[in-house]
Amino acid sequence: MNPIIELNNLTFRYHKTDERPALNDVSLKIYPGEWVAIIGHNGSGKSTLAKTINGLLAPEAGSVQVGDYALNEENLWSIRHMVGMVFQNPDNQFVGATVEDDVAFGMENQGIPREDMVTRVEEALKQVRMNEFATREPARLSGGQKQRVAIAGIVALRPGIIILDEATSMLDPEGREEVIATIKKIKEDNDLTVLSITHDIDEAANANRVLVMRQGELIDEGTPEKIFSAGPKLVELGLDLPFPEKLKYSLSEKGIDVPETYLTEEGMVDWLWTSVLKK
């Protein structure tokens, strides 16, 4: 299978004089239908990476390929049609004066006829369960609702790839769960590729593959199980541990033998009750 996103030896500096590049020789491949999470602490270059994929930032060296297009002046807008991006701040990416206007904004840019827009706005809002709020203004919506509108705006454009650039980092736990569940469902329904850039370990646990970044470099990749089994090393990278790992760590400090491999919350529950039965 051909990768849908391919980055080769990408290097990027914000200022020519910066000693350390924001991205240093990054290469990666993402395949259609995958959910890939990129994790790393602040300033590790995650967001920069996301912005170079659809040409919001131009790399200093290296190449970007999205689908059949290599990123250059000519293909820039074709690539942007294929890649939808949801950003961090729900307020600052809301362009429209009402929910439906915001969802229609991207379609207006592509010159889609009005009749099509009306049906697609309605469909997209239904998919994120915001159809009752179509005529509301952003000032009257919660953070999670605004992010769902942002997702609807992208779903309406029917891209093949969605990039979540810390899309849940300004939301409360409830809003975060809401948004992740929405993305999951939309990914299944529309067979999308999702690239999520996040601090949130629980969001990363949903992924098929996790990439770890530090100081502009990709330092590790693998399944969430593999990455999270690194345990306390993750903390050294400036990341939080998933809850089952924390529990395992506290248990082993109390002198209880715990399994070496990574367990999900369910796996942890299974192991706990079987181990109690064995005693």
Partner 1 sequence: MMNKLILGRYLPGDSLIHRLDPRAKLVASFYFIAIIFLANNLWSYLFLGAFTLFCLWLSKIDFGFFLRGVKPLIWLILFTVALQIFFTSGGDVYWKWSVFQLTEFGLKNGIFIFCRFVLIIFMSTLLTLTTPPLALSDAIEYLLRPLKPLKVPVHEISLMLSIALRFVPTLMDETEKIMNAQRARGVDFGEGNLIQKMKAVIPLLIPLFVSSFNRADDLATAMEARGYQGGDGRTKYRILHWSKKDTIVILTFAVLTAVLMYIRN
Mask for 205-244, x = binds partner 1 (CB under 8 A):
----------------------------------------
Single out the residue of 110, 190, 223, 250 in contact with partner 1 (rule: CB under 8 A): 110
Tell me the window of 4-12, 109-117, 204-212, 242-250 that interacts with partner 1 (CB under 8 A).
109-117
Nearer to partner 1, 94 or 262 (CB): 94
Q: What is the largest CA-CA distance in the chain?
A: 69
Out of 8, 11, 98, 275, name the contact with partner 1 by CB under 8 A: 98
Residues 29-58 that bind partner 1 (CB under 8 A): 51, 54, 56
Nearer Cβ to partner 1 (50/263): 50
Question: Which two structure tokens, joined as six digits, stand for 130?
Answer: 């915001």
The binder of partner 1 chosen from 18, 61, 72, 108 (CB under 8 A): 108
**CB 236, CB 65: distance < 8 Å:** no
Place of tokens 């300004």: 170
Binding-site residue total for partner 1 (CB under 8 A)?
Answer: 41
State in angstroms the smallest separation of the CB of 171 from partner 1. 16
Instruction: Rule CB under 8 A: choose which of 15, 113, 274, 279 binds partner 1.
Output: 113
Under a CB-based contact definition with an 8 Å cutoff, are residues 5 and 195 in contact? yes
Angstrom distance (rounded) from CA 147 to CA 53: 21
CA–CA–CA angle 93, 11, 206 (5° rounding): 55
As given in the structure block, the two tokens for residue 261 are 């491999």
Query: CA–CA separation, 178 vs 168, rounded Å?
Result: 10
Establish if 69 lies at the interface with partner 1 (CB under 8 A). no
- Least distance from partner 1 to the Cβ atom of residue 139, Å: 4
Contact flag: residue 97 with partner 1 (CB under 8 A)? yes
- Short-list 208, 273, 159, 215, CA closest to 18: 215
Strands in 61-66's sheet, in edge-to-edge order, are: 23-30, 5-12, 61-66, 69-70
250 CB-contact burial (10 Å; exposed 0-12 / middle 13-18 / buried 19+): exposed
Q: Which of 13, 81, 148, 214 binds partner 1 (CB under 8 A)?
A: 81
Regarding 126 and contact with partner 1 (CB under 8 A), the answer is: no
Tokens of 253: 């400090």
Applying CB under 8 A, among 7, 66, 117, 263 the residue interacting with partner 1 is 117
H or E element that contains 35: strand 35-39
Binding site for partner 1 (CB under 8 A): 51, 54, 56, 77, 80-81, 83-85, 87, 89, 91-98, 100-101, 104-114, 117-118, 121, 137-139, 153-154, 157
